[in-house]
Amino acid sequence: MLRAQNTPLAFQVTAGDSGAGHTWSKVRLTWSGGKHPVYTYLTVQSDLQTGKISGIR
């Protein structure tokens, strides 16, 4: 859940590597549309047992 003055129009999640009880996913947030969309890229670490986010890069 994102709480901010502006929120993304869309998001895309791509599975990444996992090991040692964690998995990494790449997240792309889309902030605007049209010919020149603006993106923010994040790498999110999740705990495999709980599914909770344990790190963001």
Examine residue 20 and state whether it is found in any structural domain, yes or no.
yes
Examine residue 52 and state whether it is found in any structural domain, yes or no.
no
Examine residue 27 and state whether it is found in any structural domain, yes or no.
yes
Nearest to 8 by CA among 36, 37, 35: 37
Work out how many domains the chain is built from and give that number.
Answer: 1
Examine residue 56 and state whether it is found in any structural domain, yes or no.
no
The boundaries of the domain holding residue 9 are 1-47
Examine residue 32 and state whether it is found in any structural domain, yes or no.
yes
Examine residue 42 and state whether it is found in any structural domain, yes or no.
yes
Flag whether the pTM goes above 0.75.
yes
Examine residue 18 and state whether it is found in any structural domain, yes or no.
yes
Q: How far is CA 56 from the centre of its chain?
A: 8
Distance CA 35, CA 23 (A): 33
Reported as a single tens digit per residue, the pLDDT across 3-57 is 667 888 999 999 998 999 999 999 999 998 889 999 999 999 999 999 999 999 9
